[in-house]
Amino acid sequence: MTVLEGELRGTHVLVVDDDADNREMLAMTLEHCGARVTTAGSAAEALTALEKERPQVLVSDIGLPGEDGFSLLRKVRALSASHGGNIPAIALTGRSHEDGAPVGGDGFQVHLSKPVTPEEMLAAIARVLEAPVRR
């Protein structure tokens, strides 16, 4: 798949990553594809962003300091649907699933290992937008 400008036009994505460079790279990639992006550097910032506005997709690093991405998603899933509780979610991890990263049952619809290519991210977003979220 080639990353085309405008592929995500009209899609609002919340990107959560404590690494500013990763956050910026993801935001720039998604914005190039037409998405509107909100960024957060921590689980607390992400929850505050969700209080203000409900994005269509959550992309979260698992290895957040303090409160990790799994804890963040448990809190998100506890919200009502109108407040983002059923938002499709993509996990980003520096670990492969073979070395202990939870798979399935953790609330994330897709797990991606870093580094993530733009094509992988676009495919993951398309996949989560098409599938219903199980809480």
Domains of the chain, with CATH numbers? 12-130 (3.40.50.2300)
Q: How far apart are CA 123 and CA 53, in angstroms?
A: 24
pLDDT at 43 over 90: yes
Which residues share a beta bridge with 91? 60, 111
Q: Are strands 36-40 and 110-113 parallel, antiparallel or unpaired?
A: unpaired
Q: Which residues of 51-76 are buried (b: 16+ CB within 10 A; e: fewer)?
A: eeebbbbbbbbbbbeeeebbebbeeb
- Which range among 15-19, 70-74, 80-84 shows the weakest confidence by mean pLDDT? 80-84
Q: What is the mean pLDDT of the chain?
A: 87
C-alpha of 67 from chain center: 15
Q: What is the mean pLDDT of residues 34-60?
A: 96
| pTM reported for the whole predicted model | 0.88
SS (H, E, C) 72-126: HHHHHHCCCHHHCCCCCEEEEECCCHHHCCCCCCCCCCEEEECCCCHHHHHHHHH
Summarize the confidence of residues 45-50 as an average pLDDT: 96
Which residues, 6+ apart, have CB-to-CB distance to 99 below 8 Å? none
Instruction: For 97-127, write each residue's pLDDT tens digit.
Output: 444 444 556 889 999 999 999 889 999 999 9
Asked which of 4-8, 46-50, 86-90, 119-123 is least confident by mean pLDDT, the reply is 4-8
